[in-house]
Amino acid sequence: MAKMVDRRQFLKTMALAGVSIAGAGTLVGCSDNTSTDQAQENTGITWQEETDVVVIGSGFAGLAAALEVVEAGFQVKVIEKMPVIGGNSTINGGDVAACGSKMQAEQGIEDSVDLMVSDMLVAGLNYNHVDRVRLLAEKSNETLEWTMNYLGVKYTKLNYHGGHSVLRTHMTENASGSDIIKAASEKLKEKGVSISTNTKFVRLIENEEKRIIGVEVLEGYKFGKDDSGTSKLIKARKAVIMASGGFSQDVKMRQIHEPRLDDRFSSTNHQGATGEALREVLKHGAMDVHMDWIQLGPWTSPDEPGFGYTPQFCERLVGMSPMINVKTGKRFIMETGNRKVRADAIIELGEPCIILGDEYAVKKQVVEKILEGGLANGCIKKYDTLEEIADAYNIPKDAFLAEIKHWNAMVLKGVDEDFGTKLLDGAKPTEQAPFYVARLWPKVHHCMGGLYTNLKGQVINQDFEPIKGLYAAGEIVGGTHGAVRLGGVACTDCLTYGRIAGQEAAKEEAWS
């Protein structure tokens, strides 16, 4: 004898049992007391909360998306698994790449969408999805102005990053992405949206048509304690936006895609940059791209943990100061080359190289608090003479002194004859004591790969169709950067496509 079963109770059981309710639409045979319309509206799931849009992650992309949802007049809930908001977006140099900006114009820098696109494609080895790159470049200045005019973020100077043809990255006043995260989270608060920290995304919930209708989260989750937190089902009437970042800290996952990157390589990323949210989306038939392009930052130090101070010391000096192979005392790479080229070259050396800048270059280029922080934690050292540097790092002295002499002669000409390229405007010979030195060894920094989305931010499935109700933006998305991401473009990518995802999700027809 078959038992009578209540459809609502039945589906609720399924949902609570952690079972995808795909295919549940065929269950109408179980119960005829609901019309089709009602069945679509009533999944039988007991939601503990509901909103229009759920945003997973509170970095640049997540907050930009949430703000757009709110501005469009809809409810949004932002969840963040970590105890603090912002993830990697708070621990970077606050550089926003944009072409055609006011600051560029003021400094007489000629830039264009075409030039920015071209720079990104060259670095990306043409793996980039060209339409994504072009839209990003086209919107880059609009994004920059949005952070200034809407969020009130201030930019104080243009920074150079290897691989860009011109000065294009706009540095926030505190040289930190937290300037943007702070402003965006305050704006959200003004609008009545608080961010739920310690709340971990567990899974997507889909209906009979495979439309995403909500999420399961763990409230009160403690990072690293898998059994912590309490399950909650949140209904998303319009959409779920995935903005949970990359997987640079996920050694198991990154080694499947890039076996070289075992636990001998640490990461610049915050501890929560693991890949379980991305993998959950892939379980729903989403397509991924470029998962094996995982960027090593070539400007990190083995003498401090995480991102640290060294990247903003090193990157401000490239094009003005030389990087030296300590074994030979010679340069070995164009310091302004892209991240992959430089990281691979350092790994090839088999040991850390050094970068050195003199008083002039360091004071001109490096933000004071970066220099102070680096000197305090020991990743940056100060020397009175070049000879002392040779002694300290066991560099062949004569070769090193000859190389600096050669470098200085090139600087006077303004041309890097070793690698056939220009040096930065304002570069002077490295000769003014004291000298500042940092050792460099690559760390895992950015996942270029991730979900495949269209230009609206809709996640695309294995049938090349959008998964209804599901959007993604930021580092969880692949295709923008191709093989190699340029410095400063991540902020622009996350903010631009985060805003688009929010705008598009707000337009989505509610399923309930």
Residues annotated as part of the active site: 339
Binding flag, residue 38, a copy of itself (CB under 8 A): no
Binding flag, residue 264, a copy of itself (CB under 8 A): no
The owner of tokens 């039945």 is 10
Binding flag, residue 262, a copy of itself (CB under 8 A): no
Would you state the torsion angle of the CA atoms of residues 323, 329, 332, 338, taken in this order, to the nearest 10 degrees?
-10
Binding flag, residue 127, a copy of itself (CB under 8 A): yes
Binding flag, residue 461, a copy of itself (CB under 8 A): yes
Binding flag, residue 10, a copy of itself (CB under 8 A): yes
- Shortest approach of a copy of itself to residue 125 CB, angstroms? 9
Max Cα separation, the chain? Answer: 94
Binding flag, residue 226, a copy of itself (CB under 8 A): no
- Shortest approach of a copy of itself to residue 432 CB, angstroms? 42
Cβ contacts of 413 within 8 Å, gap of 6 or more: none
Q: Do residues 485 and 339 make contact, with C-beta atoms less than 8 angstroms apart?
A: yes
Give the whole-angstrom CA distance, residue 339 versus residue 325: 17
Burial environment of residue 34 by CB neighbours within 10 A (0 to 12, 13 to 18, 19 or more) = middle
Q: Do residues 155 and 170 make contact, with C-beta atoms less than 8 angstroms apart?
A: yes
Nearest to 467 by CA among 276, 281, 277: 281
- Shortest approach of a copy of itself to residue 226 CB, angstroms? 13
- Shortest approach of a copy of itself to residue 214 CB, angstroms? 16
Cβ contacts of 498 within 8 Å, gap of 6 or more: 60, 61, 62, 63, 64, 65, 68, 243, 473, 474
Binding flag, residue 17, a copy of itself (CB under 8 A): yes
Binding flag, residue 282, a copy of itself (CB under 8 A): yes
Q: Which of 111, 206, 216, 258 binds a copy of itself (CB under 8 A)?
A: 258
Binding flag, residue 122, a copy of itself (CB under 8 A): no
Give the whole-angstrom CA distance, residue 399 versus residue 217: 60
What part of residues 343-402 is at the interface with a copy of itself (CB under 8 A)? Answer: none
Binding flag, residue 108, a copy of itself (CB under 8 A): no
Q: Which of 66, 71, 130, 408 binds a copy of itself (CB under 8 A)?
A: 130
Q: Which of 35, 385, 421, 462 binds a copy of itself (CB under 8 A)?
A: 462
Q: Classify the C-alpha dihedral 21-25-29-35 as positive or negative.
A: positive
Binding flag, residue 227, a copy of itself (CB under 8 A): no
Q: Which of 164, 200, 290, 468 binds a copy of itself (CB under 8 A)?
A: 290
Q: Which of 78, 116, 218, 291 binds a copy of itself (CB under 8 A)?
A: 291
Binding flag, residue 228, a copy of itself (CB under 8 A): no
Interacting span for a copy of itself (CB under 8 A) from 282-290, 314-322, 358-366, 420-428: 282-290
- Shortest approach of a copy of itself to residue 279 CB, angstroms? 4
Host H or E run for residue 504 = helix 489-507
Give the whole-angstrom CA distance, residue 369 versus residue 406: 31
Nearest to 270 by CA among 80, 86, 92, 88: 88
Give the whole-angstrom CA distance, residue 281 versus residue 467: 10
- Shortest approach of a copy of itself to residue 349 CB, angstroms? 16
Task: Please measure the distance between the N-terminal and C-terminal CA atoms of the chain and give it in whole angstroms.
Answer: 35
Interacting span for a copy of itself (CB under 8 A) from 79-87, 251-259, 332-340, 352-360: 251-259
Residues near a copy of itself (CB under 8 A) are: 1-7, 10, 13-14, 17, 19-23, 25-27, 29-33, 126-130, 252, 256-260, 279-280, 282-283, 285, 287-293, 452, 461-464
